[in-house]
Amino acid sequence: GAGVSQSPSNKVTEKGKDVELRCDPISGHTALYWYRQSLGQGLEFLIYFQGNSAPDKSGLPSDRFSAERTGGSVSTLTIQRTQQEDSAVYLCASSLGPTETQYFGPGTRLLVL
């Protein structure tokens, strides 16, 4: 079946602009996660959605970062007033439930000039 999809695959923006990144999880998966991967680094947790519960935002690095998940499916990660240090690959994952295996999408490569 279809895996996790993300769009756009690449995004180049200017410092100070806002960006929106989209994630379509695997159908039926109730849990959705956003991670960030800087060049040559491991993955850093950003935010977690489970069903209709309040999201776990403990990994968001600043208040410029926010995310929504509409209808328990698609999620959008928004970065306001982008900075050069925001340049990274933003990865989305979903799992059938909160303790199940997380499957990752291909990521969105963000470059802030």
Partner 1 sequence: GESVGLHLPTLSVQEGDNSIINCAYSNSASDYFIWYKQESGKGPQFIIDIRSNMDKRQGQRVTVLLNKTVKHLSLQIAATQPGDSAVYFCAENPHNAGNMLTFGGGTRLMVKP
Residue 20 or residue 103: which is nearer to partner 1 going by CB?
A: 103
Three-state DSSP at 32 gives strand
**Strand (E) positions, the chain?**
5-7, 10-13, 19-24, 31-37, 43-50, 65-69, 75-79, 88-95, 103-104, 108-112
Residue 27 or residue 58: which is nearer to partner 1 going by CB?
A: 58
Compose the 52-91 pattern: x for residues touching partner 1 by CB under 8 A, - for all others.
----x-xx-------------------------------x
CB 62 within 8 A of CB 81: no
Residue 4 or residue 19: which is nearer to partner 1 going by CB?
A: 4
Under the rule (CB under 8 A), what is the footprint of partner 1? 4, 31, 33, 35, 39-45, 48, 50, 56, 58-59, 91, 98-99, 101-107
